[in-house]
Amino acid sequence: MSSPGGQGGALSTRGAAGPRRMKWALELSLGNTRGRGDRQSKDGDVMYPVGYSDKPVPDTSVQETDRNLVEKRCWDIALGPLKQIPMNLFIMYMSGNTISIFPIMMVCMMAWRPIQALMSISATFKLLESSSQQWLQGFVYLIGNLLGSALAVYKCQSMGLLPTHSSDWLAFIEPPQRLEIMGGGMML
């Protein structure tokens, strides 16, 4: 939010302090009014510019909106996966249960996105750190992703890609060992 002029001014001040000499310098120090931390650190014998009021401007209302925004933003992140679900359901319905390249690609994407999200869940939690309802949001986020992956699994199931039937394990059944030896035939 700082103006380029102000920054330039700030730079030139530091430049004056350095080895490079200037003919003249004007310091408006506008930038410092913005950065609260800066002002606190550089407080003291700094000359206040024209129109400066020592009393802090009551900007609490703005800060309130910010917090709400953050909160809102966090909820957006947390509810993201859940919002995906109706869309996924629609795609699922459209792609059908036949096994061909497009439905397989859809299913892969559907399955991969929640898994990816779950894998990077710590990063997402960091994003949510600023929110007051961090745990609730994290939980909702987790639930959403789990639901998403459950949906993918359900899709796989309905497409018959999951080895949930006994027929899927048929190939692994070994022929039983025979206990008796038998032979013979018609009398020669």
Partner 1 sequence: NSTEANSLLLRQQFVGKVQFALFDTHSQASKKLLVATEKNIFASLNSRTGDLFWRHVDKTGPDGHINTLMMHGQDAVVVVGNGRLLRSWETTVGGLNWETVLDTGSFQSAAYIGVQDVVRYVAVLKKSAISLHYLSSGHQKWVENLPESDTVQYQTVYSGGNGQVFVLGVVPNSHIVIVEYNIEDGEIMKQKSVAAPWLSSLQSSCVMVGSGVLLCADPTTKSLYTFPLQSADQTTMTPILLESLGVEVAAGFQPVLISTQPHPARPPLSEFFLQLGPDYHILLQLKDGLVSTLRDFNPSYLVAFATTGEKTVAAVMSPKNETVSILFILSNSDPFHLHTYSVIRANGSNASVINLYSADTGRRLLDTTIIYSMDPNGGKPAKLYIHTFLKKDDSVGYRVLVQTEDLVLTFLQQPGRVVWSREEALADVVTMEMVDLPLTGTQAELEGEFGKKADGLLPMVLKRLSSQFILLQAWMSHLWKLFYDARKPRSHVKNEVTFETLSRDEFNLQKMMVMVTASGKLFGIDSKSGTVLWKQYLENIQPNSVFKLMVQRTTAHFPHPPQCTLLVKDKDTGLGSLYVFNPIFGKKSHISVPALPRPILQSLLLPLMDQDYSKVLLLIDDQYKVTAFPSTKNVLQQLQEMASSIFFYLVDSSQGRLSGFRLRKDLSTELIWEVVIPTEVQKIVGVKGKRANEHVHSQGRVMGDRSVLYKYLNPNLLAVVTESTDSHQERSFVGIFLIDGVTGRIVHEAVQRKARRPVHFVHSENWVVYVYWNTKSRRNEFSVLELFEGMELYNSTVFSSLDRPRPPQVLQQSYIFPSPISTLEATLTEKGITSRHLLVGLPSGAIVSLPKMFLDPRRPEVASDQSREENLIPYSPEMPIRTEWFINYNQTVSRVRGIYTAPSGLESTCLVVAYGLDIYQTRVYPSKQFDVLKDDYDYVLISSVLLGLFFATMISKRLAEVKLLNRAWR
Task: Report the C-alpha gap between 101 and 104 in whole angstroms.
Answer: 5
Binding mask 103-142 for partner 1 (x = CB under 8 A): ----------------------------------------
- Give least dist CB 105 to partner 1, A: 24
- Give least dist CB 180 to partner 1, A: 5
For residues 122 and 116, the answer to whether their CB atoms sit within 8 Å is no
Sign of the alpha-carbon torsion through 63, 68, 74, 76: negative
For residues 152 and 107, the answer to whether their CB atoms sit within 8 Å is yes
- Give least dist CB 99 to partner 1, A: 13
Task: Report the C-alpha gap between 66 and 74 in whole angstroms.
Answer: 12
- Give least dist CB 182 to partner 1, A: 5
Q: Does 98 help bind partner 1 (rule: CB under 8 A)?
A: no
Residues 146-185, interacting with partner 1 (CB under 8 A) = 160, 165-168, 170-171, 173-185
Q: Does 188 help bind partner 1 (rule: CB under 8 A)?
A: yes
User: Measured from the CB atom, is 150 or 162 closer to partner 1?
Assistant: 162
**Other CB atoms closer than 10 Å to residue 152's CB: what's the count?**
22
Pair of tokens at residue 47: 């000359």
Task: Report the C-alpha gap between 157 and 154 in whole angstroms.
Answer: 5
Number of residues that bind partner 1 (CB under 8 A): 23
* Contact positions vs partner 1 (CB under 8 A): 160, 165-168, 170-171, 173-188
